[in-house]
């Protein structure tokens, strides 16, 4: 198996030769295995409330995953993550990638509200893409993992859309997510999470309970941007509360490598795709 250092050199060279973004390179190289792709569907008003759907060919009663991308809640575009959606769709999962409003336009309440709206859209429209709305999963990386996990644990946001996480969400996958990160020395981040509610109201770890959907938390031990304690701490609290959760740590893997491993050129870096799809498809974790 190639080392992570060697992998970095190979991928960096590919990016340079292609003269385009890492996400685009991975998307070009990652097959959707014939999935139908429908882009720029509106789930609400405004330019950021659009989503893309990746529907596996011949899908029927397939599980559905809404994937939220990262970017420190300040950047990101759904098309950059085609490699993630294509990889999941190739495994038979109807995959939906929404855009959402970002800071400074909104604070955390805004992107959670948008996230909940996109989940409502997925629940309502899953069948027309071959998906089963009773098999709805939330997933995300980094800031997107925060959104996915917060929507799964704090029932306020989906409740506004007449959904209930315990009833309507089959499970959640958090990849290198921040779940317990305040106070923050980064003023931009601190400003995003200003709230009139009690301290900690914006932190997913404070909503861990016994009736939460089952969860999978993935993290690299080499992550220097969002520390692994976010996943291990949330996992511990969920287990103590009686919820079903599995935490998997990938030795030496960093913050970007863990999501890049969804793309076919990088899958030797970490089993992110296999662990995610096994969880969504209900396969034993040791398979």
Task: Quick: pLDDT tens for 169-195.
Answer: 999 999 999 999 998 989 999 999 998
Is-contact 170 136, C-beta < 8 A?
A: yes
pLDDT digit string (tens) for 267-287?
999 999 999 999 999 987 654
Other CB atoms within a 10 A radius of the CB of residue 113 amount to 17
- 3 pLDDT more than 60: no
pLDDT digit string (tens) for 159-176?
999 999 999 999 999 999
4-281 CATH choice from 3.40.50.300, 3.30.70.980, 3.40.50.1820, 3.90.230.10: 3.40.50.1820
Task: Provide the residue ranges of all domains of the chain, joining segments of one domain with +.
Answer: 4-281
Q: Tokens 């998906």 belong to which residue?
A: 131
Is-contact 126 94, C-beta < 8 A?
A: yes
- How many angstroms separate the CA atoms of 83 and 88, rounded? 9
pTM above 0.75, yes or no: yes
Q: Which two tokens stand for residue 12?
A: 């960096």
- 10 pLDDT more than 50: no
């Amino acid at each position: 198996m190639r080392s992570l250092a060697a992998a970095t050199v190979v991928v960096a060279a590919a990016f340079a030769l292609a003269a385009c973004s890492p996400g685009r390179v991975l998307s070009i190289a990652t097959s959707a295995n014939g999935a139908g792709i429908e882009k720029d569907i509106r789930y609400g008003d405004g330019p950021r409330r659009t989503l893309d759907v990746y529907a596996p060919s011949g899908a029927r009663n397939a599980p559905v995953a809404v994937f939220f991308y990262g970017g420190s809640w300040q950047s990101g575009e759904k098309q950059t993550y085609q490699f993630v959606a294509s990889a999941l769709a190739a495994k038979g999962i109807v995959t939906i990638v929404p855009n959402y409003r970002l800071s400074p336009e909104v604070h955390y309440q805004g992107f959670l509200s948008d996230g909940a709206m996109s989940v409502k859209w997925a629940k309502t429209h899953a069948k027309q893409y071959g998906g089963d709305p009773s098999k709805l999963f939330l997933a995300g990386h980094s800031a997107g993992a925060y959104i996915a996990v917060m929507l799964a644990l704090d029932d306020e946001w989906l409740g506004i859309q007449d959904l209930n996480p315990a009833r309507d969400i089959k499970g959640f996958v958090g990849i290198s997510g921040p779940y317990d990160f305040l106070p923050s020395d980064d003023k931009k981040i601190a400003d995003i999470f200003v709230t009139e509610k009690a301290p900690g109201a914006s932190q997913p770890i404070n909503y861990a309970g016994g009736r939460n959907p089952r969860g999978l938390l993935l993290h690299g031990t080499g992550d220097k941007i969002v520390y692994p304690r976010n996943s291990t701490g949330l996992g511990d609290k969920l287990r103590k509360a009686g919820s079903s959760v599995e935490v998997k740590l990938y030795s030496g893997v960093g913050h970007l490598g863990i999501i890049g491993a969804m793309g076919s050129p990088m899958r030797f870096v970490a089993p992110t795709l296999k662990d995610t799809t096994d969880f969504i498809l209900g396969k034993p974790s040791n398979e």
